[in-house]
Amino acid sequence: MPEGKKKSKIVPKKYPMPEQDPKERIKNFDEVPTGQDAETIIKEARRCLQCKESPKRKLCKDGCPVEIDIPAFIKKVQEGDFAEAMRIVREKQNLPAVCGRVCPYENQCEGNCIVGKKNEPVGIGRIERFLADWERNEQKHGKIVKPSSTGKSVAVVGAGPAGLTVAGDLTRLGHKVTVFEALQYSGGVLVYGIPEFRLPKAIVQAEVDFIRRSGVEIKNDHVIGKLMTVDDLLAEHDAVFVGTGAGLPNWTNLEGENLNGILSANEFLTRVNLMKAFNFPDYDTPIRVGKRVVTLGGGNVAMDCARTALRLGAEESVILYRRSEAELPARREEVHHAMEEGVRFELLAAPVRYIGDENGDVKQIEAVRMKLGEPDESGRRRPIKIEGSNFILDCQTVLIAIGQSPNPLVPMTTPDLKTTKWGTIAVDAEGRTSKKGVFAGGDISTGAATVILAMGDGKRAAKAMHKYLTEDPSWPDAEAFEKAAC
Ligand code: FAD
Ligand code: SF4
Ligand code: SF4
């Protein structure tokens, strides 16, 4: 449909995504949105106006960190040609089934959609999800074309979204890539962090298998910094990419934090997702969840913890967050789902200390009410304590989801790798580090961010690594690096 014509006929809302009923879904770990059929997805695609590019305005495409040609793939969906649509998506996207589910598209591609100016934007994320699922279910994976070898070899540290993107892209360009991953499974946060009911692990596995089939070798159970160092890898490979993520939990450092029943979000979610604690005793990782679980934080990680706690049998799951609902950093959809499932939001409140019983188990949190002041450096209004407003909340489990820091092992064991004051690896715009031949990207260089930003970083680094390996092996000297590193 050409832009500008039949605008009055635009269906104002996205076609609804079927979902499990909230009362039922809190009893299982199955995916919440159950997916749309081909007919509905074609109708959703027909909401797109096929806008023409113009320097005067931003379009969907400009909001996608991996630069997928969105209008082109949607056009193919409008015509019912899913195979060609998927071929266009795969030109830029290594994990389509993942991004179609967890990408914060409301702030990215869909945030720029012209239809979204007056109506709901085109459901780009759900169209991408449909295509990836269609490809997997119909086994319509395009033929993998093996390029001729460049004779160069690359080591990638970490099989998260950043590392897998670099590995996939460099393999397609003819380099031999080996990924070294600390865990027994590949996927990074996609397997150990984001719960099954948001991102089924079989789907992550299928995406990883696709990348493997394209020629990437993944060596699991390889902790770089223990088993071997980045210097060892550099001795055997022509370049190294570090994508080790931000998996180190932040703590509140409040009195009583070492009481039993207080866990980091990271440990809680890893036990549930990776070690399948929800399936005890079939899997032998027990996890204890009290009647009332309090999760500290307001991001996606906090929503995942609070919703997981309900599914593990908590009678009440409470989010304690120091700002108001408008400032919650989690995706809107996750907040909405948490509310539908009965998670209680104790907003404008911050913890003061944890109180234990005679056995050393946590039994209460003391918290204080907050009000919002002027915006801080993050642009969000600063929370300010209301003196004398302290209150007590009974609880048997506390989950701390107040952010993660970069994994320190690789920087600690690679002395000439510069880090920033936040512990991230310093990189220039091309992902080059202070050490010749070593690139980095994703959460380890940006700090905890999103899947698609980690993948965007991976894409940029892969391009720069290809240039380094094939045409220009120059490297910035210390002074130039200092100026260029962000
Ligand atoms: P990671 O995914 O952390 O992968 C790093 C990999 O490196 C891991 O597999 C790790 O085991 C491995 N590794 C670490 N150290 C070593 C070592 N020394 N040797 C070898 N391997 C090593 N983002 C979204 O876009 N949408 C969401 O809905 C969303 N929800 C989230 C929910 C949770 C619970 C969490 C924790 C994060 C969420 N995120 C979400 C953020 C997103 O998952 C991350 O930004 C993204 O995974 C970062 O990718 P990465 O490749 O940089 O790092
Ligand atoms: Fe949108 Fe994310 Fe897909 Fe890009 S990868 S088109 S930002 S959903
Ligand atoms: Fe279609 Fe929206 Fe992109 Fe325009 S901005 S091409 S309507 S998806």
Ligand 2 center to 58 CA (angstroms): 15
pLDDT tier, 485 (very low <50, low <70, confident <90, very high otherwise): confident
Distance CA 409, CA 397 (A): 30
326-348 pLDDT tens trace = 999 999 999 999 999 999 999 99
C-alpha distances (whole Å) from 432 to each of 30, 132, 236, 312, 442 are 41, 32, 19, 44, 13
pLDDT tier, 1 (very low <50, low <70, confident <90, very high otherwise): very low
The domain spans of the chain are: 9-138, 153-247+405-485, 251-402
Do 153-247+405-485 and 251-402 agree at the fold level?
yes
pLDDT tier, 420 (very low <50, low <70, confident <90, very high otherwise): very high
151-202 pLDDT tens trace = 999 999 999 999 999 999 999 999 999 999 999 999 999 999 999 999 999 9
Whether pLDDT at 49 is above 70? yes
Quote the percentage of the chain above a pLDDT of 90: 88
Instruction: Report which bound ligand comes closest to the CA of 109.
Output: 2
- Count of Cβ atoms closer than 10 Å to residue 124 Cβ: 29
Whether pLDDT at 7 is above 80? no
Instruction: Report which bound ligand comes closest to the CA of 4.
Output: 3
Q: What is the DSSP letter of 18?
A: P
Whether pLDDT at 8 is above 60? no
Whether pLDDT at 380 is above 90? no
Could you confirm whether domain 251-402 is CATH 3.50.50.60?
A: yes
Q: pTM, whole model, 2 decimals? A: 0.95
CATH superfamily name and code, 9-138: Alpha-helical ferredoxin (1.10.1060.10)
User: Is 99 in contact with 46 (CB distance < 8 Å)?
Assistant: no
* 451, 453, 457, 459, best to mutate for ligand 1 pocket (most atoms within 8 Å of CB): 451
Distance CA 48, CA 231 (A): 50
User: Is 313 in contact with 288 (CB distance < 8 Å)?
Assistant: no
Q: What pLDDT does residue 482 have?
A: 87
Q: What pLDDT does residue 469 have?
A: 98
User: Is 223 in contact with 164 (CB distance < 8 Å)?
Assistant: no
Q: Is 261 close to ligand 1, i.e. is its CB under 6 Å away? A: no
279-310 pLDDT tens trace = 777 777 778 899 999 999 999 999 999 999 99
Fold of 153-247+405-485: FAD/NAD(P)-binding domain (3.50.50)
* 199, 229, 244, best to mutate for ligand 1 pocket (most atoms within 8 Å of CB): 244
**Which is higher by pLDDT, 366 or 6?**
366
